Amino acid sequence: MRTPANGLSLIRTIAIGVLTLLTFIGASSTGGARNSAGPISDAPATTKYSLDASQSKFIAHAFAGGLFWFKGHDHYVAARDFKGEVEITSESLTPASLRLVVQSGSLVETGAVFTEPQKQIINKELREIVLPPAQYPEIIFQSTGVTGKPAANGRYDVKITGDLTLHGVTRRIVIPAQVTLTGNDMRAVGEFSIDRSDYKVKATSAFHGLVRVRNTVKFNFDVVGHRQ
């Protein structure tokens, strides 16, 4: 039996409608799955700064402990040659990182109580007995984590956790600092202490005993970095 023409037209209309509905549902389902993941957000922007030794200070304050010629005189040993890189997350400061490399051969006595000839003797003992550059050419600090919070006047109070390698020994330390960001410059100021015996650093037993000091050595720093 033949289906009337108007019946065929009705069937076609229903079929087209069903196909259209299925296509729409499939497209919506695909789009919904795609949209449910959401856009992948970009990582926070970071800024890198190179440390400028010519505008910075990094000084080891060794407290007097000797029994010889210079008893009662503290040592202020400055690092003349060092480099480093600081990476800071824009606006929030953290995550952040620091790598600092000091050339041990650049350590020199700067204490005002010593004469120039005395400083020469101290520097000689530093290079030959305390921290021989040929054996231990670099002092390295590499951060493993940084925490911080805003302070007054655009500054940040931070704590830098990391590994200090000195005299062939590596130990974990925490360095508190205050960081200021101004234009293309970064400045970090702070101090921290170590026990030299932890790093097997000698208090010299040389003739003059100029570098006989107590175990605690305090480091003061005021370092400046420029945006790369």
In this structure, are 109 and 10 located in the same domain?
Answer: no
Task: Give me the domain span that covers residue 115.
Answer: 46-227
Where does residue 89 fall: left (phi above 0), alpha (psi -120 to 50 degrees), or beta otherwise? beta
Structural domains of the chain, count: 2
In this structure, are 197 and 121 located in the same domain?
Answer: yes
Each residue of 60-86: pLDDT tens digit?
998 876 444 444 688 899 999 999 999
Which pLDDT score is estimated for 201? 86
In this structure, are 31 and 59 located in the same domain?
Answer: no
In this structure, are 223 and 187 located in the same domain?
Answer: yes
CA distance 76 to 60: 6
**Is the bond preceding 95 in cis, omega lying within 30 degrees of 0?**
yes
CA distance 101 to 98: 10
Which pLDDT score is estimated for 137? 97
State which residues of the chain have pLDDT below 50. 14-15, 18-25, 27-30, 32-36, 66-71, 206-207
In this structure, are 85 and 131 located in the same domain?
Answer: yes
In this structure, are 7 and 90 located in the same domain?
Answer: no
Which pLDDT score is estimated for 207? 47
User: pTM, whole model, 2 decimals?
Assistant: 0.75
Which pLDDT score is estimated for 91? 78
Which pLDDT score is estimated for 204? 59
In this structure, are 165 and 68 located in the same domain?
Answer: yes
Which pLDDT score is estimated for 129? 84
Q: Are 108 and 78 in contact (CB under 8 A)?
A: yes
Strand partners, 6: none
CA distance 19 to 184: 62
Which pLDDT score is estimated for 161? 98
Which pLDDT score is estimated for 177? 97
Which pLDDT score is estimated for 209? 52
In this structure, are 104 and 86 located in the same domain?
Answer: yes
CATH number at residue 90: 2.40.128.110
